[in-house]
Structure 1
Amino acid sequence: MSLFAKILIVLVALEFCYIMYLETFVTTSAATSRVFKLSSADLKAKHVNTLLKNQGIYNGLIAVGLLYSVFFATAAMEISRLLLIYIILVALYGSITSDKKIILTQGGLAIVALLTTFL
């Protein structure tokens, strides 16, 4: 795998760490409200707060998987591609069911990173 592909994959991992940070650690913040287009009252609702924290852990583990694939895995290319495809499919689903921009905001960098693994 090229150095450029590895750098992009690490950037995708950092993006997912940021998502985890918003969803898990600063769930009721203005930044979380702005990014996810949820009101402050919605973010403070116990069930929404719990769901976001759960989702945040999930996104953090995606980041861990990507970092593992770049720095430790013997099958780095396969693991990276699998996780990037997974991210893209979830972003595609989100763009169909929620907001069309999700394919670019959540999946855009992952698409570019995936393409670079084929160079």
Structure 2
Amino acid sequence: MIGNILVALVALIHVYIVYFEMVLWDTPRGQKTFRLTPDFASASKVLAANQGLYNGFLAAGLIWGLYLGAPGFQIKVFFLLCVAIAGLYGGATVGRKILLVQTVPAAIALIAIWLGW
């Protein structure tokens, strides 16, 4: 139960990321969140939307695993690993904050479902 709640939390985090990358990227709120200049936000809007779409696939995979219940264990593990690895890459190439937002929650959820919590 705890593991599934944590998986759902990771999925919700990614839905939120999708919203920021696909909708708010070039707004004042998006620019402040991602520390962007207006020119860069405008020039990179399509790339951010593409990135947001990929984050949406991660959320969809986690939701799919939750929907399947116990048979979705492997799906949840796969998508949590994808989230954790994406967070590690983002942490190494963009900023350490990504480790806290993506990798840490995914790793905690992965441990929880692995242990059957």
**TM-score between both structures, scaled by the size of structure 1:** 0.88
In the TM superposition, residue 29 of structure 1 has moved relative to its aligned partner by 1.8
Number of aligned positions between the proteins: 115
Greater share of helix residues, 1 or 2?
2
Please, which of 2, 8, 12 is the counterpart of residue 14 of structure 1? 12
In the alignment, is residue 65 of structure 1 matched against residue 65 of structure 2?
Answer: no
Q: Secondary structure at the match of 1:107?
A: helix
Please, which of 98, 104, 107 is the counterpart of residue 108 of structure 1? 104
Q: Secondary structure at the match of 1:28?
A: coil
Query: Aligned Cα RMSD in Å?
Result: 1.5
Which amino acid is the alignment partner of residue 7 of structure 2?
Answer: I
Which amino acid is the alignment partner of residue 63 of structure 1?
Answer: A
In the TM superposition, residue 73 of structure 1 has moved relative to its aligned partner by 6.1
Please, which of 72, 79, 83 is the counterpart of residue 75 of structure 2? 79
**1:76-98: CA deviation from partner (whole Å, max 9, x where unpaired):** 11110111111111111111122
Structure-1 residue corresponding to 2:2: 4
Which amino acid is the alignment partner of residue 9 of structure 2?
Answer: L
**TM-score between both structures, scaled by the size of structure 2:** 0.89
In the alignment, is residue 90 of structure 1 matched against residue 86 of structure 2?
Answer: yes
Which amino acid is the alignment partner of residue 21 of structure 1?
Answer: Y
Q: Secondary structure at the match of 2:95?
A: coil
Q: Secondary structure at the match of 1:117?
A: helix
How far apart are the structure 2 equivalents of 1:101 and 1:27?
18
Q: Is the 8 A contact 2:87 2:98 kept in 1?
A: yes
Which sections of structure 2, spanning at least 5 residues, go unmatched? none
Structure-1 residue corresponding to 2:48: 52
